[in-house]
Amino acid sequence: MIKHDFFTGQSKISDPGNFKNDLPGSLSIPQFCDVVNNVMLIDFLDNMKIMNVPEAHKKDINIRNIEEKLNVLFARNKSEVNKSRTNEEKIFGNCRDTSLMLCTLLRQNGIAARLRSGFSTIFSSKKKYDHWLCEYWDVQTKRWIKVDTWMYQIQHYKDILPPMFKKGLEKLNYKPMDVDEIFFIPGGCAWHRCQNQGEDPNSYGTYGNMRGLWFIRDNMLRDLLCLNKIEPLPWDCWGLMSGKRGKVTNQDKEILNHVAFLLSDVENNFGKVREFYLSTPNLHFN
């Protein structure tokens, strides 16, 4: 069985380091998400030309660690994290970045939290897009609750969205504070669906030719890393998580099928998930 306390402590990547005293104390989950909104502006708003992000800030998404992100944030504006900032004073980020920021805030307040790498069916049940969430252990209901900080920010700015997008968002019935399992497919589940249930691997991925079984493999392994408190960048690739496009070898499939099996029941297989990571050196992050 999983030890939830494992996820209350910071990882090397989520650790705010010298900025731990600059983070807020106990807040509600929506209030923590509001803090994320105060410090970070998501890529979607820039891609849709809804807001303009300085070109130099777009490299922010390559910053892996929270301490370094906060260093950049406070260099732009030394105000408290729960104070309003201009877009130019925020960090530019994607769904991994906003999820990691929430994870840091929760862990700093003793709440078990972790990132999950997988695929979203928010906009289409046929096309599953690469997506990241943060989930936390709710002690009252005794379950992991998935939070979508990226969609929470989109909903926050819904009044300035293009009319057709805003209309579609209102019909969606999507709850970013408690994401229903129909809207998020973890990497291991995606692998199982394609290997054992006949789903098309090419329906999983992102834009262009960034899709297919190799993409699912890498997302599943990133999810495995997150469950070991290693929160990689969405394009990080090493070891089994090779990032190579094309055919996945039968030898690799044997190992990957085992990973998918372990991830199919993280709660009961957590010890084995940890054991697999610890015994697989080429997955380790230095």
pLDDT at 240 (0 to 100): 83
Q: Per mean pLDDT, which range of 1-10, 56-65, 226-235 is the poorest?
A: 1-10
Residue 191, CA distances (Å) to 122, 261, 262 in order: 19, 10, 12
Tell me the average pLDDT across 127-156.
96
DSSP 241: B
Mode of pairing for the β-strands spanning 91-93 and 184-186 = unpaired
CA angle 24, 93, 57 (to 5 degrees): 105
Beta carbons of 113 and 134 less than 8 angstroms apart: yes
pLDDT: which is higher, 180 or 246: 180
pLDDT at 286 (0 to 100): 66
pLDDT at 158 (0 to 100): 87
Q: Give the span between the Cα atoms of 124 and 207, in whole angstroms.
A: 14
pLDDT at 245 over 90: no
Tell me the average pLDDT across 123-150.
94
pTM over the 0.85 mark: yes
pLDDT at 129 (0 to 100): 94
Torsion of CA 263, 264, 265, 269, to 10 degrees: -40
pLDDT band at 168 (very low <50, low <70, confident <90, very high): confident
Return the percentage of the chain with pLDDT > 70, whole number. 98
pLDDT in tens, 188-218: 999 999 999 999 999 999 888 889 999 999 9
pLDDT band at 2 (very low <50, low <70, confident <90, very high): low
pLDDT in tens, 29-64: 999 999 999 999 999 999 888 888 899 999 999 999
